[in-house]
Amino acid sequence: MDHSLLIFATVAKTRNFSRAAEALHMTQPAVSLQIQALEQRFGVKLLERTNRTVRLTRAGEILLDRAEEILESYRELGLIMDDLVQGEGGHLAIGASYTFGEYVLPRILAQFCRRYPKVSVAITIENTSQVAEAIVRREQDVGIVEGGLHHSDLEVLPLFEDELRVVIPAGHRLAGRAEATPEELAGERWILREHGSGTREAADKLFSATGLVPAALMELGSTQIIKESVEAGLGVSLLSTWTVVKEIRLGTLKTLRLHEFPIFRTFSVVLHRARYHIRAVDHFIAVLREESETIRRFGTSRWEKGIPEGGCTPITKRAGIERETRPGPNDGQGG
């Protein structure tokens, strides 16, 4: 690899020699010498320097664009070589949105890890838009999201439908009902996920399509906190049926369908169109598709039992917290 291109790209992105030197574990004079050598090699000025920052010249912009392509080619070459050496092992970086990542993925991962115990797995739980951005930046190998995604760099493969229902406390005036109209819910405080979440996107579409205007809105960044808030009588919410399996079984929450307005979305796999996919990605997608077929046939009922032990131990990262964990049946905070 041409390390001078890596140094230049780091300076260009940080817009600062000191920060670039820190990121590269180099001294600032060494970074400056590498940039000067590049400028001498090409016979053109690449950066305009000021006291606090640097700015790319037109030549610098062109070089950065090409340098990123070259550096990505080197990274992909490394993946290919590692894939050949690792065989059925290797490292798999998965990004998943909250609902899928914390309520569906653990069970699928248990199947995958039993089949491919040599694969090390790292899971990052974020909202749908953040997962998509990470795949575009090639920080993760594969993503699973809910809701619609449209990006020229992404390939989106549908898995199965997810039903969302209005979630209410057990003592709610509508708790004995199976359905409700939007008008019956207009006077409620709605407790929702943050913008960028697939669950929030579904709620906003619901309000727009039905004309439902909540009496008040409360925004929380965790499905677990939303469920506990609804249980406490603070309001109602719109959540995936996957997230309330335990609470429905215990009788602490109830769900309602909206009359003449069923709410479904699709869980999908997200891949980078241009990126080389290691064998672990192909194996993981195969397991996803097998389990998705079972879900389409049986829904959540097959998975209400515990998750068998065995296989790999994934590293799960959520909201900046990293932990090693065996997937459990109700191990989750998000939605």
Given the structure tokens 């065995």, which residue do they identify?
Answer: 310
User: What are the strands, taking DSSP E only, across the chain?
Assistant: 47-49, 54-56, 91-96, 120-125, 142-146, 154-169, 179-180, 189-192, 216-219, 237-240, 253-258, 263-272, 315-318, 321-324
Predicted local distance difference test score (pLDDT) of residue 174: 95
pLDDT confidence bin for 326, thresholds 50/70/90: very low
pLDDT at 325 over 60: no
Closest C-alpha to 183, from 160, 205, 211, 141:
211
Q: Is the pTM of this model over 0.75?
A: no
Between 170-174, 195-199, 202-206, 297-301, the lowest mean confidence (pLDDT) is in: 297-301
Whole-number pLDDT of residue 83: 61
Assign 3-state DSSP to the chain and report helix, strand, coil percentages, each to 5. Answer: 45, 25, 30
The pLDDT of 258-263, averaged and rounded, is 88
Q: Could you read off the pLDDT of 78-116 as tens digits, one per residue?
A: 767 666 666 666 788 999 998 899 899 998 999 999 998
Q: Say whether pLDDT at 14 is over 60.
A: yes
Summary mean pLDDT of the chain: 84
CA–CA separation, 275 vs 52, rounded Å? 36
Tell me the pLDDT band of 331, cut-offs 50, 70 and 90: very low
Average pLDDT, integer, range 169-190 = 93
250's CB contacts (< 8 A; 6+ apart) are none
75 vs 36, residue with greater confidence: 36
Residue 141 reports pLDDT greater than 70:
yes
| Percent of the residues in the chain that have a pLDDT greater than 90, as a whole number | 46
Nearest CA to 147 among 265, 243, 242, 239? 265
Work out the average pLDDT over 35-54.
87
pLDDT at 294 over 60: yes
pLDDT digits (tens, 9 = 90+) for 201-234: 899 999 999 999 899 999 998 899 999 999 999 9
For the chain, domains (ranges, CATH) are 3-84 (1.10.10.10), 92-159+266-305 (3.40.190.10), 161-265 (3.40.190.10)
Confidence at 300, pLDDT banded by 50, 70, 90: low
pLDDT band with cut points at 50, 70 and 90 for residue 184: very high
CA distances to 95, 175, 184, 267 from 216, in Å: 32, 20, 15, 29
